[in-house]
A and B are shown apart, each in its own frame.
Chain A
Amino acid sequence: MGIERRSQLGVCLMIAVDGLTLSRGERVLFRDLSFSAVSGEVLALTGANGAGKTSLLRALAGFLRPDEGTVTFADVDPVEARTKHLHWLGHLDGLKGARHAREELAFQARWLGAGADGVAAAVDVLALEPLLDLEVRKLSAGQRRRLAFARLIAVQRPIWLLDEPLSPLDARWRAALGVLMQAHVERGGTIIAAVHDPLPVAHRTLDIGAGR
C-alpha cells in the first residue's frame, strides 16, 4: 500500500478495501471482501440486483459504515480523501427539478471548488449549452445524466465513484463518456463503477455476488 504519486490530477490515490463485511438490516450483503484499485485503473463492480454494488460504493464514499473491515486511501486521511479527492455520482444526482440547469451546474461545480474555466470546459465537452436555460425537470434522463456528470469534468478529483453511470445514455453519449473516462484514467485517475452493462473503456471486473 502507500501508493501515492503526483499526476495531472494533483494526487493519485490507491483505494484499498480490506476484509469488508457489509449488511443492510438483517441481511449480510457480503463478507470479508478485499480488493484494491490503483491510479489509472477502471474497476467495474458487477452482480445481480441487490448484490450490494451500490452499498459498496456508498461504503467507499463514507456514507455507510461497514460491520467489519477498512477502506483506506493510501496514506491520506479518509475524510480528506473523500472531501477533496473523490467524486460521487449515484442514482440520485443532486439536481433540483424546478431549477434551471445553469443554476444547478453552477452550484454543484462551485460547491466542489470549480472555477469559471472548469464549468465552461464541462459545458463544452458535454454539449450542455442548449440545455442550460431549461428547467432540470424538462431534461430527458440522458440529458440530466450529462448535466450531473458535468461536475466531474468541471472539478478535477482523482477518484470517481459511479453508480450505473451510463444507463440512461444513448450509444453516442455512452461512447463519449467512455472517452472521458479513458482520459481521466490516463491522467492518473481511478474509477470504480457499479454496472450491469459493459463499460466502453478498458476495465477490470469485480463480481460482488461472488464475494458473498
Chain B
Amino acid sequence: MTALMILWRRELSLAWAGGGGPLLACGFFLCLTVLVPLAAGGDPAGLKPVAGGIAWVALAVSSILSLERLFERDFEDGTLDLIALGPVPLELAVIAKAKAQWLAVGWPLALTAPVAAITLGLPPSLAPLAALAALIGGLGFALTGALGAALALGSKRGGLLIAVVVLPLFIPPVVFGAGALERAANGLSPAPALAFLVAYVLFAGLITPFAGAAAIRNAQG
C-alpha cells in the first residue's frame, strides 16, 4: 500500500471516529432545510424560486462544520510534523486529506442533498441533479475548506476563522450549484452551470495543495 493510501485511509477512519462527524453534518444540513421553510411562513410557492439557493447555502455551511478538525488536531498532537517528514510531499498530503474530507463528509452530504432539495419544494425529478451537483461542489468545498483550515492553523478560535476565510470562497460554487438547479427547474440545460462548478473544482485543486502546504509550513515554524 502506498504512503498516500495509508494516510488517506487513516483520515477516513478518523473522520468517522468519535461520534460520526459526517452524520452530524448531514443532520445539520437537514435541520437548516427544514428550518428555512418554517421561518418563511410555510408557503411552498413562495419558497420555490429560491429553493436551490437555500439548499446550496445550507450545503456550504454544513460543509464547514468538520473543517476545524482537518489539520488542527494533527497540528496539536504533532502528527503534522510526522507527515511533513514522511515519504510524500506535503502538497500531496494536503490533497489526500482534502479528498478524504470529501469522501467522509461531501458524499454523505451529496446523498442528503436530494432530500433537502425536495423538502424545499424542488420537484423530485431534480433529485439526481441535486446529488450530482452537490457531489461536484462538495469536492470544491473540501479543497477550498482544506486551504482555509490550513490558513487557520494555530490560531485561537480557529473554527470561526475558518468560516470567515472560507465562506467568501464558497460563493462561486454556491452560485453555480444553485444556478444548475434553477436552470433545470426552468427547463433549461444545467450543463453550463455544472461546467463552471467543475472549473471551480479544478482551480481549487491547483491552488490548495501549494497554498495549503505553505500555510502548514508557516504554522509549524
Interface residues of A (CB under 8 A from B): 58, 61-65, 82-84, 86-88, 90-99, 103, 107-108, 110-113
Q: Is the CB of A83 within 8 A of B77?
A: no
Q: Is the CB of A112 within 8 A of B86?
A: yes
Q: Is the CB of B77 within 8 A of A92?
A: yes
With a 10 A CB-CB cut-off, give which of B77, B82, B84 has the most chain A CB atoms.
B82
B15 nearest CB across to chain A (Å): 13
A interface footprint on B202-221 (CB within 8 Å = 1, 0 otherwise): 00000000000000010011
A interface footprint on B61-104 (CB within 8 Å = 1, 0 otherwise): 00000000000010011110111111100000000000000000
B10 cross-chain contacts in A, Cβ below 8 A: 107
Given contacts A92-B78, A93-B78, A111-B83, 6 further A-B contacts (CB under 8 A): A82-B85, A88-B82, A96-B79, A107-B6, A112-B85, A112-B86
Q: Is the CB of A94 within 8 A of B87?
A: no
Q: Which residue of B lies closest to A59 (CB)?
A: B221
Q: Is the CB of B7 within 8 A of A111?
A: yes
The residue that B87 contacts in the complex, of A97, A107, A113, with Cβ under 8 A, is A113
Q: Is the CB of A63 within 8 A of B81?
A: yes
Q: Which residue of A lies closest to B80 (CB)?
A: A94
A82 to B83, CA, bound (A): 12
21 A-B pairs whose Cβ atoms sit less than 8 Å apart in the complex: A61-B85, A64-B221, A65-B221, A83-B85, A84-B87, A86-B85, A90-B78, A90-B81, A91-B78, A94-B78, A95-B78, A96-B14, A96-B79, A99-B17, A107-B10, A110-B1, A111-B7, A111-B82, A111-B87, A112-B86, A113-B3
Q: Is the CB of A110 within 8 A of B18?
A: no
A58 to B86, CA, bound (A): 15
Interface residues of B (CB under 8 A from A): 1, 3, 6-7, 10, 13-14, 17-18, 73, 76-79, 81-87, 217, 220-221
Q: Is the contact region of chain B dominated by helix, strand, or loop, or is it mixed?
A: helix
Q: Which residue of B lies closest to A161 (CB)?
A: B85
Q: Is the CB of A93 within 8 A of B77?
A: yes
B220 cross-chain contacts in A, Cβ below 8 A: 58, 63-64
Q: Is the CB of B77 within 8 A of A96?
A: yes
Known: A98-B18, A113-B87. A88 touches B81 (CB 8 A): yes
B78 cross-chain contacts in A, Cβ below 8 A: 90-95
Known: A98-B17, A107-B6. A83 touches B221 (CB 8 A): no
Q: Which residue of B lies closest to A92 (CB)?
A: B78
A95 cross-chain contacts in B, Cβ below 8 A: 77-78
Q: Which residue of A lies closest to B79 (CB)?
A: A94
A94 to B81, CA, bound (A): 8
B96 nearest CB across to chain A (Å): 11
A205 nearest CB across to chain B (Å): 25
Q: Is the CB of A63 within 8 A of B82?
A: no
B7 cross-chain contacts in A, Cβ below 8 A: 111
A110 cross-chain contacts in B, Cβ below 8 A: 1, 3, 6
B1 cross-chain contacts in A, Cβ below 8 A: 110
Q: Is the CB of A94 within 8 A of B6?
A: no
A98 to B85, CA, bound (A): 23
A160 nearest CB across to chain B (Å): 12
A108 cross-chain contacts in B, Cβ below 8 A: 82
A49 to B13, CA, bound (A): 38
Q: Which residue of B lies closest to A84 (CB)?
A: B87
Known: A90-B78, A92-B76, A92-B81. A83 touches B86 (CB 8 A): yes
Q: Which residue of B lies closest to A86 (CB)?
A: B85
A95 to B81, CA, bound (A): 11
B86 cross-chain contacts in A, Cβ below 8 A: 83, 111-112
Q: Which residue of A lies closest to B73 (CB)?
A: A96
B73 cross-chain contacts in A, Cβ below 8 A: 96
